[in-house]
Amino acid sequence: GAERSARAMGAEAADTAPGQQLRALFYALPPGESSFRTVEEVPDYVEKSIPFFITFIGLEFAVSWIQKHKLPGRINDGISSLSLGILSRIPDVLFRSIELISYIYVWNNYRLFELPWDSPWTWYLTLLGVDFAYYCFHRMSHEVNILWAAHQVHHSSEDYNLFTALRQSVLQKYTSWMFNLPMALFIPPSVFAVHLQFNLLYQFWIHTEVINKLGPLEWILNTPSHHRVHHGRNPYCIDKNYGGTLIIWDRIFGTFEAEDAKVVYGLTHPVNSFDPIMLQLRPLAHIWNMFWATPGFCNKLSVIFKGPGWGPGKPRLGLPEEIPVITGKEVPFDPHIPAYLSCYALVHFAIIVDLYTELLASVTMLSQGTVLLRIGFIILSLASFGLLLENKSKAGILEIIRCLVFIGLYKLGYFRSQFSFLGYAYEV
């Protein structure tokens, strides 16, 4: 029953006007416009916000050019962020949302009492509950090594722009769901499903440098200024500002830090890669190697469950003095490649985005074999683009193989563009 409800979400969802979608992006839909009796009625706010994502990214580019006479990011890092975003959503093509399925299961079998779905008090309580659960999960993701191995993907960019908001982990959702389960004892799934989306959408627009401080709102809300600190690798930025929508949790629990010195973005030990597969898996390989290299059973457990900076004889979260000093002369990883190769990667990435969105639209009508074939090709393509942007010596060979595979599968009818008039162009 839980899975049927989760599958039905969006199938019969209420239509939302563009104005409502825009306000949903800023958590500005009041209870009267965003309360639903059943999960099936809850709109897919995230999917319907995609046009606004694109619009705001274009607006960010324009404002950045006006303010600073430069673009807010780089082609290689932008493609990497979008590749990681696509990769993180691929499990949703095959499986339903574990967050919603688990929540509905607990609600159906273990709820203690039922708050009214149409009460504004329930709506506001859920806002606080979802955001507090996110704060707890987010903080744990920085303080527990095995959780950080997934979450660090989001911090791996050395740029900070709206593309960075889409840079997500494949694995993170398989641990975050458990933090929401206490609410399933009394908050209806339909109310939870709304706020789960709103909390995620709100965090999109705060990934930008073109918005400065927002006055009194800085005391209550998570803002671009606060979140820039969270993404910084300056010593004063480490493990600060975990809030999703609200910054009050950080102020209460002592993890708040205001933006001060110029923030340098990325990981304290940069990964120096645009390969989305490597970015997802290398931290797990590091934990695996460290686990076997560390003597003592208790120390081995500490490798998994203590902080990423921990080592034998160190405190749980490591030593602050071991955080690399920021000189202000840090240069982002940016291998030189010819301009034509950047254009090539950009054009072919656009083709993959087309194939991916077409897959999402038609997945229920495709055989499982065709779905797996398309997913496999998408993953191969994203990895190939990453190697091309790194100017790896074997990237050309892999790309030739990828293009031959594309031609073969396209001719056999396994791929289809959303735009039929582009068929011949794709073959060219």
Q: For residue 8, name the pLDDT band (cuts at 50, 70, 90).
A: very low
Residue 366 burial (CB < 10 Å; 0-12/13-18/19+)? middle
- In this structure, the dihedral spanned by the alpha carbons of residues 185, 5, 201 and 348, taken in order and rounded to 10 degrees, is 140
DSSP secondary structure code for residue 175 in this structure: H
**200 and 301 co-located in one domain:** no
Average pLDDT, rounded, for the chain = 92
- The pLDDT, as a whole number, for residue 15 is 59
In-domain check, residue 264: no
Per-residue confidence band for 9, with pLDDT thresholds at 50, 70 and 90 = very low
Model pLDDT, residue 10: 41
User: Cα separation of 213 and 233, whole Å?
Assistant: 20
Query: Over 50: is that where the pLDDT of 4 sits?
Result: no
pLDDT tens-digit map of 275-328: 999 999 999 999 999 999 999 999 999 999 999 999 999 999 999 999 999 988
Same domain (yes/no): 29, 142: yes
Contact 408, 414 (CB under 8 A): no
Give me the long-range contacts of 51-56 (CB less than 8 A, separation at least 24).
52/21, 52/22, 52/25, 53/162, 53/166, 53/204, 56/162, 56/204, 56/205
Residue 274 vs residues 61, 83, 391: alpha-carbon distances, Å? 21, 9, 10
Range of the domain at 304: 277-315
Q: Is the same domain home to 213 and 98?
A: yes
Gap between the Cα atoms of 145 and 358, Å rounded: 37
One domain for residues 130 and 247: yes
pLDDT at 6 over 70: no
Q: Are residues 377 and 295 in the same domain?
A: no
Structurally, the chain folds into a number of domains equal to 3
CA pair distance 21, 27, nearest whole angstrom: 10
In the predicted structure, residue 22 carries a pLDDT above the cut 80: yes
Residue 360 banded pLDDT, cuts 50, 70, 90: confident
pLDDT tens digit sequence for 229-247: 999 999 999 999 999 999 9
Same domain for 97 and 64: yes
pLDDT of 103 reads 96
Are residues 8 and 38 in contact, defined by beta-carbon separation less than 8 angstroms?
A: no
Tell me, yes or no, whether 197 lies in a domain. yes
DSSP labels, 27-87 = T---GGGS--SSGGGS--HHHHTHHHHHHHHHHHHHHHHHHHSS-SS-HHHHHHHHHHHHH
Q: Which of 253, 269, 295 is at the close of a domain?
A: 253
Both 158 and 77 in one domain: the answer is: yes
What pLDDT sits at residue 91? 87
Q: What percent of the chain has pLDDT over 70?
A: 96
